């Protein structure tokens, strides 16, 4: 396969011995060397010496605690617990268990002898794989090229993301902060080749390697265990007295291959960029679905909220990678011996921020009665609308109303959807028919002619209430004083609900402002019929705030 001139891989190494750091194979140093295929001339002009154009940079995100995290609700629980494989050996131990001498590879019987109160959990490799795939979709918020490195690492090609995030270190800080939000512990390392980044992350090396020429020196300091080679290979290397990879680089290539096979030598060449190391890009599913097992059965709202926080953070990265938002969240709380409790959080406006999802779920939990303790939680959402520009209002123009919409969503989560609605004005003169219930933020809002502000109250009674009116003067907590009016409303003859009224604004002795009316002669009265000898009948229809 031909390599393009932008490939990071230098020319193939010599046939016998790997070059030491700082040396260059090829023609003698007395003349300008001719660049070989895949190499750039040494003295070619570069726009950025630290980051040559076209040279990939891989950020490896290692997840060393993944087996324990998927069985512990996303983090440490504070108790002594271990994850064991099918053979009965410890795969991973929590911090309290490690303090008692329990380590990876220890037989379960020995671990129980060291820590009698140990909680033993079987490894769930399917859950680990599912979590790794969800995190790969989450990592799409930082780069379009994400590759899964089983069993517990992600490889992100971040060269094209540096300008967007302000450079390598700002990018790494944002990745770390976002990963912490998902509830997972990680180690990150940067190198020009994916395998070198993986080995550096396993070793806990945090200093970024930005140039291919520096790879041999940095990788040479690592111990062979970081390569993941088989135990037989590592045992052979120890028998040869090899403690670091730089010792492997000094060995003759032919002899190294005869003793250990071609696999380890090919790995070294790929890590140093001498061989191509193509990676498959992860393709995220069209719909997000994540689940998390609780560390133990619980009805405590704090534990439930913390478990969902990690899933909300994953969902935010999933949505940002697609530049999409959602209007609906479906949540399931699973119980051991009861049907699952299902919750739906409906949003008044498209949203993608995990912090907002956290607030809505916390408000919903306040009025939730669980039938039994929860053993696991699940979250499902489907990307919907494209993101609205940050400087645009909710309705496409005017001031931004995001704060008001979020208030509506919090109130609905706390009080119920049916308790909070919007009002849509209609082109109608009859007050009781001049509005209808509408979804907040819906397109049903329209510009219609409405009376001037203050001429009609915002609070209308469900039906007009008849007021006592001795001598034709209305009373409500005392004699009313008329302030303004009348406003005549004559409408509805075409639908059989005709009204003919004169409305006034009146004030009670205590200072409350009321909206009252009286029927015009010959019109239909909304209340009991008045005595023929009585004066005009007054009704209370609204109250001003």
pLDDT tens per residue, range 472-524: 889 898 889 888 878 888 887 787 778 888 999 999 998 899 999 988 875 55
Q: Which one of 271, 299, 324 terminates a domain?
A: 271
The pLDDT score that the predictor gives to residue 290 is 95
Residue 315 domain-assigned (yes or no): yes
Predicted structure pTM score: 0.69
Same domain, 298 and 373: yes
Same domain, 107 and 209: no
Percent of the chain with pLDDT over 90: 53
> How is residue 124 written in tokens?
């769930």
The pLDDT score that the predictor gives to residue 398 is 44
The pLDDT score that the predictor gives to residue 75 is 58
CB distance 158 to 169 below 8 Å: no
> How is residue 276 written in tokens?
């191509």
Residue 507 domain-assigned (yes or no): yes
Whose structure tokens read 């050996």?
Answer: 89
Regions in the chain scoring below 50 on pLDDT: 1-52, 389-399, 444-445, 529-534
Residue 357 has a CB neighbour count (10 Å cut-off) of 25
Same domain, 106 and 164: no
Same domain, 304 and 367: yes
Instruction: Report long-range pairs for 422-428 (Cβ below 8 Å, ≥24 apart).
Output: 425/450, 428/491
Structural domains counted in the chain: 4
Residue 418 domain-assigned (yes or no): no
Same domain, 261 and 371: no
Q: Which one of 102, 123, 144 terminates a domain?
A: 123
Same domain, 105 and 193: no
Residue 285 domain-assigned (yes or no): no
CATH of the domain at 81: 3.40.1170.60
Residue 27 domain-assigned (yes or no): no
Same domain, 367 and 407: yes
Same domain, 255 and 162: yes
CA 189 to chain centre: 23
Residue 339 domain-assigned (yes or no): yes
**Rounded to an integer, what distance in angstroms lies between the CA atom of residue 390 and that of residue 142?**
19
**Rounded to an integer, what distance in angstroms lies between the CA atom of residue 323 and that of residue 319?**
6
Same domain, 183 and 119: no
For the chain, give the number of residues: 545
Same domain, 114 and 161: no
Residue 218 domain-assigned (yes or no): yes
The pLDDT score that the predictor gives to residue 346 is 85
Same domain, 409 and 528: no
Same domain, 144 and 219: yes
CB distance 61 to 154 below 8 Å: yes
Residue 421 domain-assigned (yes or no): no
The pLDDT score that the predictor gives to residue 461 is 85
The pLDDT score that the predictor gives to residue 40 is 37
CATH of the domain at 408: 3.30.1490.100
Contacts of 342 (CB under 8 A, 6+ apart): 330, 331, 332, 333
What range does the domain containing 116 cover?
72-123
């Amino acid at each position: 396969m031909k390599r393009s001139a932008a490939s990071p891989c230098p020319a193939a190494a010599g046939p016998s011995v790997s070059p030491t750091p700082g040396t260059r194979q090829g023609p003698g140093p007395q003349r300008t060397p001719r660049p070989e295929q895949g190499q750039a001339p040494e003295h070619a002009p570069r726009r950025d010496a630290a980051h040559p154009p076209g040279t990939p940079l891989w950020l490896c995100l290692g997840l060393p605690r993944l087996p324990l995290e998927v069985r512990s609700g996303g983090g440490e629980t504070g108790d002594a617990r271990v994850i064991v494989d099918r053979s009965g050996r410890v795969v991973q131990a929590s911090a309290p268990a490690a303090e008692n001498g329990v380590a990876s590879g220890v037989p379960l019987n020995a671990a129980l002898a060291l820590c009698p109160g140990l909680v033993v959990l079987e490894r769930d490799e399917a859950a680990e794989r599912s979590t790794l795939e969800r995190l790969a979709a989450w990592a799409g918020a930082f780069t379009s090229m994400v590759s899964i490195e089983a069993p517990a690492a992600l490889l992100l090609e971040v060269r094209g993301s540096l300008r967007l995030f302000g450079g390598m270190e700002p990018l790494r800080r944002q990745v770390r902060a976002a990963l912490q939000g998902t509830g997972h512990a990680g180690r990150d390392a940067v190198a020009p080749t994916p395998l070198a980044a993986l080995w550096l992350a396993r070793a806990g090396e945090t200093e970024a390697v930005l140039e291919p020429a520096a790879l041999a020196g940095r990788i040479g300091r690592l111990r062979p265990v970081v390569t993941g080679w088989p135990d037989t290979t590592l045992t052979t290397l120890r028998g040869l007295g090899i403690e670091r990879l730089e010792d492997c680089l000094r060995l003759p290539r032919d002899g190294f291959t005869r003793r250990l096979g071609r696999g380890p030598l090919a790995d070294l060449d790929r890590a140093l960029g001498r061989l191509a190391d193509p990676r498959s890009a992860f393709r995220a599913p069209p719909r997000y679905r994540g689940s998390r097992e609780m560390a133990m059965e619980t009805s405590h709202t704090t534990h439930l909220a913390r478990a969902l926080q990690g899933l909300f953070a994953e969902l935010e990265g999933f949505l940002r990678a697609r530049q999409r938002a959602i209007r609906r969240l479906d949540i399931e709380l699973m119980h051991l011996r009861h049907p699952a409790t299902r919750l739906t959080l409906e949003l008044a406006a498209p949203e993608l921020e995990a912090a907002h999802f956290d607030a809505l779920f916390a408000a919903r939990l306040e009025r939730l009665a669980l039938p039994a303790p929860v053993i696991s939680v699940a979250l499902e959402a489907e990307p919907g609308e494209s993101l609205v520009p940050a400087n645009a209002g909710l309705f496409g123009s005017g001031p931004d109303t995001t704060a008001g919409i979020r208030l509506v969503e919090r109130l609905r989560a706390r009080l119920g959807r049916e308790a909070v609605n919007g009002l849509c004005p209609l082109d109608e003169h009859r007050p009781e028919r001049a509005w209808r219930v509408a979804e907040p933020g819906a397109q049903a809002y329209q510009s219609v002619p409405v009376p001037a502000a203050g001429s009609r109250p915002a609070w209308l009674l469900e039906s007009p209430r008849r007021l006592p009116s001795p001598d034709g003067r209305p009373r409500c907590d005392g004699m009313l004083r008329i302030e303004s009016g009348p406003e005549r409303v004559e409408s509805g003859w075409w639908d059989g609900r005709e009204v003919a009224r004169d409305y006034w604004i009146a004030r009670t002795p205590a200072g409350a402002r009321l909206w009252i009316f009286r029927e015009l002669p010959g019109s239909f009265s909304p209340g009991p019929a008045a005595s023929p000898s009585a004066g005009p009948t007054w009704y209370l229809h609204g109250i001003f705030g």
